[in-house]
Amino acid sequence: MTDVADPRVPVALLSLDRIADGGFAEAEVVLDGDAESLLLFRDGDAVRGWLNVCPHAGRRLDWAPGQFLRSKDGLLVCAAHGASFELVGGHCVAGPCRGESLRAVPLAVRDGAVFLDAG
């Protein structure tokens, strides 16, 4: 688990090559003193990140640690209740939390690694 001790220092989560293009990964970090699971989605050389928590019931999105479901339409699907999220902004487009969004986490890709961008 990566601990963010100094919020001004970027924290490396994992190397970019550990996420297949168009694929997902999970990373564990400490944010504001709390252990958090992050959902990472790679789109080419960019990586988007959100807390691994469905806004519907506060449960993890993955069906097993780091294993995420994707619909035929390319949406992220919550394993617990089937809410579907688009992967640009994390907006729920179908299911019990339609209209809500995943909580984004700022990331940056530098030198072949994905960083938590602490600002």
pLDDT tens digit sequence for 16-25: 999 999 999 9
Which residues have a Cβ under 8 Å from the Cβ of 29 and sit 6 or more positions away?
1, 2, 3, 4, 11, 13, 35, 36, 38, 116
pLDDT tens digit sequence for 43-84: 999 999 999 999 998 899 999 999 999 999 999 999 999 999
Domains of the chain: 2-69+102-116 (2.102.10.10)
Judge whether 59 and 80 are in contact, CB under 8 Å. Answer: yes
| Mean pLDDT score, 16-41 | 94
Judge whether 54 and 61 are in contact, CB under 8 Å. Answer: yes
Distance CA 100, CA 71 (A): 18
pTM of structure: 0.87
